[in-house]
């Protein structure tokens, strides 16, 4: 259930009503973890946010789990609003009233690790009862969930930010080459991508829509062969590299002239999804969940996906959004909580949750068939290829409360022409230093 940014979490209004309903029918809503009754039966309470479809699938998983484990009762405690979810959960952890197992967003996981309230998981993951050895997961997805060699949460699933493209919009702009075919031939270069975007812009269409969050700006740098914005000590260094400054300025200029568009800033009623499905944009950078959006059009064949373009056409590591599953360090049902945790995250668990139109990409080996089922989009393998080499947000950034959002705010000024690249990166360096001290 990995998503790409908070804006989209908050946009999932339909999930709220169902979440409240599920809380009532599943015993959630009151806070607090489970325990063991007089007969020795354990109750595990777990919490998350989610869309209506996701929450329904979780309830189905709970039922399946309890059939296999009649000695464990599982209760889902959904929270309607992502914006309130983490603050509520931190308060519950502090007051020892938190659920036993819970989701944590990738923009919050570092804060939760630093709270010292999460259960260390490395030893449990190596145990005989584990269905989720650490090496079973793709290493770039742990991000700030791993600290000083210890794992405190694992990725539920993932969503590489791919370039969805609309063949009809490309054709309207006079573009005859297919991006995915170019990528297969090692010819999906930055120059080719920008050439297509110029044609789209000249035709009165939007070139590419991006969400303003870490995976956009840092994937741009990585895809262009530039160094990470943080050094090994966690210091922000992007502002000191001339090539990086030049590349960020190029990115800003493309937003400022309208070739690229910040999806977050589009008006209600004419949002990014609407623009894309009405063939007014060539590219839209999102994850696998976009399948549902294009399916609703009845024009699925008009859409496909491709990796980020690079100077030489060879694939490069880019951002992969995740969410994480953690265990309360003070749970009263450690063994039962871990049994639920490891089965939820296992290849079998991820297959159960994601098959039949699931909206994410497995974070663990052995479940890739759910991405390839149905053969849609035509180049669905791209999701897996990008996940395999991709990365979560840098721990130096994700570990600091509010820092990813503060950095995105500075990039928005760049995109709106209110600051140039050097000013933007210098300000970010100051923000990182101030917030990290």
Residue 391 pairs in a beta bridge with 319
- Residues 8-40 have pLDDT tens digits of 443 333 223 333 333 333 333 446 899 999 888
pLDDT of residue 31: 60
With bands split at pLDDT 50, 70 and 90, how would you rate the model's confidence at 82? confident
pTM: 0.92
Domains of the chain, residue spans: 6-159+323-389, 162-318+400-436
**What's the average model confidence in pLDDT over 88-109?**
95
DSSP state, residue 196: H
Class of domain 162-318+400-436: alpha beta
Q: Does domain 6-159+323-389 have CATH number 3.40.190.10?
A: yes
Whether the Cβ atoms of residue 244 and residue 425 lie closer than 8 Å to each other: yes
pLDDT digit string, tens, across residues 257-315 = 999 999 999 998 899 999 999 999 999 999 999 999 999 999 999 999 999 999 999 99
**Helix 52-68, helix 13-25: angle, nearest 10:** 30
User: Do 6-159+323-389 and 162-318+400-436 show the same overall fold?
Assistant: yes
CA distance 293 to 308: 21
Instruction: Give the pLDDT score at 170.
Output: 98
Residue 412 pLDDT greater than 50, yes or no: yes
Instruction: Tell the residue number behind the tokens 């989720």, with chain if given.
Output: 132
> Which among 177, 155, 169, 162 is positioned nearest to 206, based on CA atoms?
169
Cβ density class 326-363: b for 16+ within 10 Å, e for less: bbbeebbbbebbbbbbbbbbbbebbbbbbeeebbbbbb
Mean pLDDT of 59-84: 94
The confidence score (pLDDT) of residue 3 equals 42
Q: What is the mean pLDDT of residues 110-130?
A: 96
Shortest CA distance to 358 belongs to which of 350, 9, 22?
350
Backbone dihedral region for residue 208 (phi beyond 0: left; psi -120 to 50: alpha; all else: beta): beta
């Amino acid at each position: 259930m990995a998503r790409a940014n908070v804006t989209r979490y908050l946009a999932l209004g339909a999930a709220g009503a169902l979440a409240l309903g599920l809380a009532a029918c599943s015993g959630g809503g009151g806070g607090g973890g489970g325990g063991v009754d007089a007969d020795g039966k354990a109750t595990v309470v777990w919490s998350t946010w989610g869309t209506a479809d996701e929450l329904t699938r979780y309830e189905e998983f709970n039922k399946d789990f309890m059939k296999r484990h009649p000695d464990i009762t599982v209760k889902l405690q959904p929270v309607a609003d992502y914006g309130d979810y983490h603050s509520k959960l931190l308060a519950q952890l502090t007051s020892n009233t938190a659920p036993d197992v819970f989701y944590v967003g990738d923009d919050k996981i570092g804060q939760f690790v630093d709270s010292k309230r999460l259960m260390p998981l490395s030893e449990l993951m190596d145990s005989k009862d584990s269905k989720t050895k650490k090496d079973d997961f793709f290493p770039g997805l742990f991000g700030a969930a791993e600290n000083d060699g210890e794992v405190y949460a694992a990725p539920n699933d993932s969503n590489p930010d791919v370039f969805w493209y609309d063949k009809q919009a490309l054709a309207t702009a006079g573009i005859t080459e297919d991006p995915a075919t170019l990528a297969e031939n090692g010819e999906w270069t930055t120059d080719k991508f920008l050439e297509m975007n110029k044609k789209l812009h000249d035709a009165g269409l939007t070139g590419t829509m991006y969400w303003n969050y870490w995976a956009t700006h840092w994937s741009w740098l990585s895809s262009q062969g530039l160094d990470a914005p943080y050094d090994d000590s966690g210091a922000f260094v992007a502002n000191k590299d001339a090539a990086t400054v030049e590349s960020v300025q190029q990115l800003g200029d493309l937003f400022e002239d309208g070739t690229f568009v910040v999806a977050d800033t589009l008006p209600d009623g004419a949002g990014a999804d609407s623009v894309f499905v009405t063939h007014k944009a060539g590219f839209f950078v999102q994850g696998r969940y976009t399948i549902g959006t294009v399916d609703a059009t009845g024009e699925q064949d008009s859409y496909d996906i491709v990796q980020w373009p690079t100077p030489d056409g060879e694939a490069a590591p880019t951002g992969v959004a995740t969410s994480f599953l953690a265990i309360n360090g003070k749970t009263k049902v450690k063994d039962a909580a871990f049994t639920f945790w490891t089965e939820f995250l296992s290849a079998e668990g991820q297959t159960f949750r994601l098959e039949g139109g699931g909206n994410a990409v497995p974070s663990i080996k052995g479940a890739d068939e759910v991405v390839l089922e149905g053969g849609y989009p035509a180049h669905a393998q791209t999701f897996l290829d990008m996940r395999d080499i991709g990365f979560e947000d840098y721990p130096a950034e994700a570990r600091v409360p509010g820092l990813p959002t503060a950095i995105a705010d500075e990039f928005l000024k760049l995109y709106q022409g209110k600051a140039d690249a050097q000013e933007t990166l210098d300000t970010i360096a100051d923000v990182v230093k101030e917030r990290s001290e």
